[in-house]
Structure 1
Amino acid sequence: MILEELLDLCEVSLATSTDSAVLAVIHSWFVQTIDTVRGALIVHDAGLASTTSPLVRAAIEYAVGMHWLRQVWDAGLGGLHNSHQRWAKNLKRALATAEEQDLYPDDPKWPAAWAELIAEIEARPPAPQVKGGGNIAERFEVTELAHVYVAWLSETSLSHATQASATPYLEQIDGAYKLSRTPHASRGESLEGRCFVALDIALHAIAEALNSDPLRTTLTDIEDRFAAASVVGLEGA
């Protein structure tokens, strides 16, 4: 119920317009955080709890990104542009490889559309470098959220084809592997708690970006009640 209250607070904290390009991006990531958390809850309720990590990871990334951009402001927009240019270069190389291997789709408009996009991105000169512009890990350092970086890394390990993501579905017994359709190990942290972290960070970022004292006050009250509920839950366990 407290998590739903936090989600409701997110929805009523949305803005409708701004003259600031920085605030526009922060707000966009705020919306992404909200929707990604809701997506994780839907996936969990569908009985697919083990696949929520990529969504929680993304939600944390958006939320921390909000704090990072709020701190570096205009320089951050330049850093995002530089990162976008690196993406365009990677796409250009991938397209060239696909062309060499004759792997283009049948639609003749597809290569032209990508080439046009790449040309548009490359037309703008690079901006000065800023810490965290293209390196997600650096954003945790800039925002001094090392403890959240630990949580992000935990979600990351289960979001890709890694040893960590394979381990819950297999168990080695007497030299053989017992394979499972469902994970035989479960996480200690609840999905609600992991989602709460992402939303809490995002709301703090938007409260600072909008300089909203009422939002800060309401958020503190929810945090206190969530902490109290967590303590009661631990004592009950």
Structure 2
Amino acid sequence: MGMIELRTPAEIEEMRPAGRFVASVLEATAAAAGVGVNLLELDALAHELIRKAGAESCYIDYHPSFGASPFGKVICTSVNDAVLHGLPFDYRLRDGDLLSLDFAASVNGWVSDSALSIVVGTPRDGDLRLIDTTQRALEAGIAAARVGNRIGEISRAIGDIAKAAGYAVNTDFGGHGVGRTMHGDPHVANSGRPGRGLPLKPGLVIAIEPWFLETTDRIFTDPDGWTLRSADGSRGAHSEHTIAITDGDPIVLTQRD
């Protein structure tokens, strides 16, 4: 594990504009996502909002070890059996599509990262249940993000919600530290044991991001080199907030209206 950075209360205040901006872009792109709308149009909308705000994309030049090439777009659009890192492409949304939007940006040198899932047009009950489970798991994870607990308490809270709903949990990709860059330590797995991992201290800023697939915990990388899809074609959903741990309640920096 690399260095864990704790932020001062003043720095957490400085992070709020990034959180508000990221929340606003997710709201705008989710509102724009309708039947017949192209994923590239959603990316163009996010790009324009970044430009207007004088913000910086965390994705466009992003090239980690698991990515085939720099991402090249500014928002992740994962549809149906895609759940993470969905690279926007020339695809028009269809009635009943399950769309996950994941967005991170830097404002004044501070990053926030957040995600949500929606159904375009007519929803299927299974999709609504899957989305609701990720949202409840996110809330449970945030509730466990308190001084005196460890990362393991957050992980267990998320995993318990998933398992109670009958979903398996993949721990390859999960939450992470957030600060001047998008991904830092610690890793926050979506399942785990209490009493394990880093002790939570005031000033720790992390993204918590439950994502579940309907009938598997196995994923593979699409030929685009980025998009992660379920191994069995079942659908996925994803919910994420950037939060700051304090002496009291955690602050949800990416809270949407």
Q: What is the TM-score normalised by the length of structure 2?
A: 0.28
Choose between structure 1 and 2: higher strand proportion.
2
Choose between structure 1 and 2: higher helix proportion.
1
Q: Which has the higher contact order (CA 8 A, sep 6+)?
A: 1
